[in-house]
Structure 1
Amino acid sequence: MSLLGSVSGFAAFGVLVRTYALGLQKRPLFSNPSGHAIAAAVFGGFGYYVHGLQQRQEDLIESKKEVLLKNRARAEEIAKKQAAFTQ
């Protein structure tokens, strides 16, 4: 997911949550637009954090995958040497 999509998606969700909460309270939805802006900023910031978290996790998974592939190749090499030695 792209950074812009993540941030804007979470920001839109924040505005939706704010509007829903005001609707439940039967208050005017757009009487105080700064509340919507604050909700969008908070949820957008959370979306930015989640995007960074996903990137860090993907990098960590990729590095662990490389280590596992190297270990597997080394183990296969050792097994071939042992098989050649025993014959």
Structure 2
Amino acid sequence: MTLEVPSPSVEYEDRYFKGPYGTIGLWAGAGIVAKTLSYGLQRKPIFHKPYTHLIWAVVGGSIGYLVDSLQQRKLQEVERKRQLLIRRRIQRLEQSE
């Protein structure tokens, strides 16, 4: 008896942002929005010091990069463990025959 299990490929699947650059762009945008909101709450002109928006975009983008790389590593680990469990299940079925 053979056990055929479809093996899905480990790819980045996101409904709205495809690939790592979408995630990095999203977090970079969040950094810009955070700085703009901060200036708004302080009642300063929104573009008081424009370079700070760039700094916050870089900070947000780096957070996005870290989140994306963590997600990729976890997906690969889950796929590796899934393949290990499938292999053990096949061995168990072969031994029981």
Instruction: Normalising by structure 2, report the TM-score.
Output: 0.79
Q: Sequence identity, in percent?
A: 34
Deviations 1:10-58 (A, max 9, x none): 0001101111111111111102011100100001001011111111111
Runs of 5+ in structure 2 lacking a partner? 1-17
Tell which structure's C-alpha radius of gyration is larger: 1
Runs (4 or more) in structure 1 with deviation over 6 Å come to none
User: Where does residue 72 of structure 1 map in the other structure?
Assistant: 89
User: Where does residue 40 of structure 1 map in the other structure?
Assistant: 57
Runs of 5+ in structure 1 lacking a partner? 81-87
> Once superposed, what is the RMSD of the aligned Cα atoms?
0.8
Q: How many residues align?
A: 80
Provide the rounded CA distance (Å) in 2 between the counterparts of 1:32 and 1:25: 13
